[in-house]
Amino acid sequence: QKAEWETLKTATSITADGKHYDVAANIGTPKDLDGVLANGAEGIGLYRTEFLYMDSAELPTEDDQFEAYKKVLETMNPKPVVVRTMDIGGDKHLPYLPLPEEDNPFLGYRAIRISLDRQDIFRTQLRALLRASAFGNLRIMFPMIATIQEFEAAKKIFLEEKANLQKDGVKVSDDIQLGIMIEIPAAAVLADQFAKHVDFFSIGTNDLIQYTMAADRGNEHVSYLYQPYNPSILRLVKNVIDAAHKEGKWAGMCGEAAGDPIMVPILLGMGLDEYSMSATSVLKIRSLMKRLSTADMAKMADVALNENISNDDNAALVKKTTGQ
């Protein structure tokens, strides 16, 4: 296994029937880049920028952020880097940014909701990203999008800051894809409409599962309901992938499920384009993909989506079909 993984470090991710998919990595800070390079990820599928804010005693300046983003983009160039704008709120807090007391923080003031409200913070982040875009292959995604109006509002601010920088003669890329995380069921259901507006989707199963099953992702008393392979979750995921492809867009996944050897065969069967995971899972998943044929996985996914009725049935089906 060690020898196989060694050769896979410099390989692209190809299935047994010769189809290529991107196996990318999730990072929280530029320090995580060593692991990404060591494991040969085909890009960064999720850069969680909130750590930049959480590791700082005050709001990070535009220049501080620019340096961090530039480092990541330059290191990965020409491979793509999907940077997620600040996802604060929920269980993530900043000492210098007091948030309201809320009965349900996970259903409250969080992520893009804060960014659209505190445009000073959001514009600073977008300007830093735009300046860094000249140094690599940048894609930006917005977290916790529930409505198309939120996406359009965020895009409008992005375009305003882009125009401002260009007016000042700052070099910015003209080729920045704008996408959204699919982690709220409303967005998954309306994926066909979202797909006309965005450049890509990245499915955040950590939150999508918790909101779909109404089961707190960190609450052990309801953890039995945290079911990645539940047909309800799989159908939402399929809806998102199909909607993207219908509009010629791509769909990825950056929640934990994207690096799960039980979930990946089903996702291959549904045609997911990009799989972003902890860097330490990249070679394991690349090796697994090499053994799977997408045609066989499509047949299996059909059963998982339409015949089986439980999470456990689907886990057993994948294990049996793929010999895990």
Q: Which residues bind ligand PEP (CB under 6 A)?
A: 46, 48, 87, 183, 204-207, 254-255
Answer yes or no: is 50 a known binding residue. Answer: no
CA distances from 92 to 55, 97, 180, 276 (A): 12, 11, 20, 22
Q: Cβ 47 to ligand PEP, closest distance in Å? A: 11
Answer yes or no: is 84 a known binding residue. Answer: yes
What SS3 class is residue 142?
strand
Answer yes or no: is 123 a known binding residue. Answer: no
Answer yes or no: is 273 a known binding residue. Answer: no
Q: Cβ 217 to Mg ion, closest distance in Å? A: 9
Instruction: Answer yes or no whether residue 161 interacts with Mg ion by CB under 5 A.
Output: no
Q: Cβ 16 to ligand PEP, closest distance in Å? A: 28
Region for 144 from its dihedrals, namely left if φ exceeds 0, alpha if ψ lies in -120 to 50, beta otherwise: left
Alpha-carbon gap, residue 228 to 279, rounded angstroms = 21
Answer yes or no: is 113 a known binding residue. Answer: no
Q: 254 contacts which partner out of Mg ion, ligand PEP, none, CB within 5 to 8 A by kind?
A: ligand PEP
Q: 32 contacts which partner out of ligand PEP, Mg ion, none, CB within 5 to 8 A by kind?
A: none
Which of 83, 234, 254, 262 is the catalytic position?
254
- Of the pair 116, 165, the CB lying nearest Mg ion is at 116
Measured from the Cβ of residue 17, the count of other Cβ atoms closer than 10 Å reads 11
- Of the pair 46, 244, the CB lying nearest ligand PEP is at 46
Token code pair at residue 193? 């409409």
Alpha-carbon gap, residue 27 to 81, rounded angstroms = 10
Site residues for Mg ion, window 164-193 (CB under 5 A)? 183
Please confirm, yes or no, whether 117 is among the known catalytic residues: no
Measured from the Cβ of residue 287, the count of other Cβ atoms closer than 10 Å reads 17
- Of the pair 135, 229, the CB lying nearest ligand PEP is at 229
Long-range contacts of 149-158 (CB under 8 A, 24+ apart): 150/112, 150/113, 150/116, 151/180, 151/194, 151/197, 151/198, 152/197, 153/116, 154/85, 154/112, 154/115, 154/116, 154/122, 155/197, 157/116, 157/119, 157/122, 157/123, 157/126, 158/126, 158/130
Q: Cα–chain-centroid distance for residue 23? A: 12
CA 143-145-150 angle, to 5 degrees, is 120
**Strands 177-182 and 200-203, bridge-based pairing:** parallel
Task: State the DSSP string of 16-59.
Answer: TTS-B-EEEEEESSGGGHHHHHHTT-SSEEEEETHHHHHTSSSP
- Of the pair 266, 317, the CB lying nearest ligand PEP is at 266
Answer yes or no: is 48 a known binding residue. Answer: yes
Q: 205 contacts which partner out of Mg ion, ligand PEP, none, CB within 5 to 8 A by kind?
A: ligand PEP
Instruction: Using CB under 5 A, count the residues that bind Mg ion.
Output: 3
Alpha-carbon gap, residue 196 to 257, rounded angstroms = 26
Q: Cβ 139 to ligand PEP, closest distance in Å? A: 15
Binding flags for Mg ion, 197-236, as an x/- string (CB under 5 A): -------x--x-----------------------------
Q: Cβ 1 to ligand PEP, closest distance in Å? A: 28
Q: Cβ 206 to Mg ion, closest distance in Å? A: 5
- Of the pair 42, 207, the CB lying nearest ligand PEP is at 207
Q: 48 contacts which partner out of ligand PEP, Mg ion, none, CB within 5 to 8 A by kind?
A: ligand PEP
Give me the active site residues, please. Answer: 254
- Binding site for Mg(2+): which residues? 183, 207
- Binding site: which residues? 48, 84, 183, 206-207, 217
Binding site for Mg ion (CB under 5 A): 183, 204, 207
